[in-house]
Amino acid sequence: MDVTLSAVVNSSCVSQVCDLSFSLKKMLSRHKLTHNPNRPMAECLLCHKKFTRNDYLKVHMENVHGETEGC
Ligand SMILES: [Zn+2]
Ligand SMILES: [Zn+2]
């Protein structure tokens, strides 16, 4: 029988939220911050929609409000 590497992955290093697996526990704890609702989020000043990442806000601004950074 061959044992695949994925079978060896420790289930305690798998994100319960998005099923991503990590080789190190500390990597998982860092990743978990992305699912923490209390972490600071980027907020759209125009419609107050909140985003977990600044890049998402930027894309939202361009797509929804047609604004680009700078000028
Ligand atoms: Zn996750
Ligand atoms: Zn907006």
pLDDT at 25 over 60: yes
What digits encode the pLDDT tens for the residues 28-57? 988 888 887 676 678 899 999 988 888 899
Q: How far is the CA of 68 from the centre of ligand 2 (A)?
A: 13
The single-letter DSSP state of residue 21 is B
3-state DSSP assignment of residue 14: strand
* The pTM of the whole model exceeds 0.85: no
Sign of CA dihedral 62, 67, 69, 71: positive
Is pLDDT at 23 greater than 70 in this prediction? yes
Ligand nearest to the CA of 56: 2
47 CA distance to ligand 2 centroid (A)?
4
Relative to the alpha carbon of 46, which ligand is closest? Answer: 2
Give strand ranges (E) for 1-71. 42-43, 50-51
Judge whether 15 and 35 are in contact, CB under 8 Å: yes
- Mean pLDDT within 11-33: 89
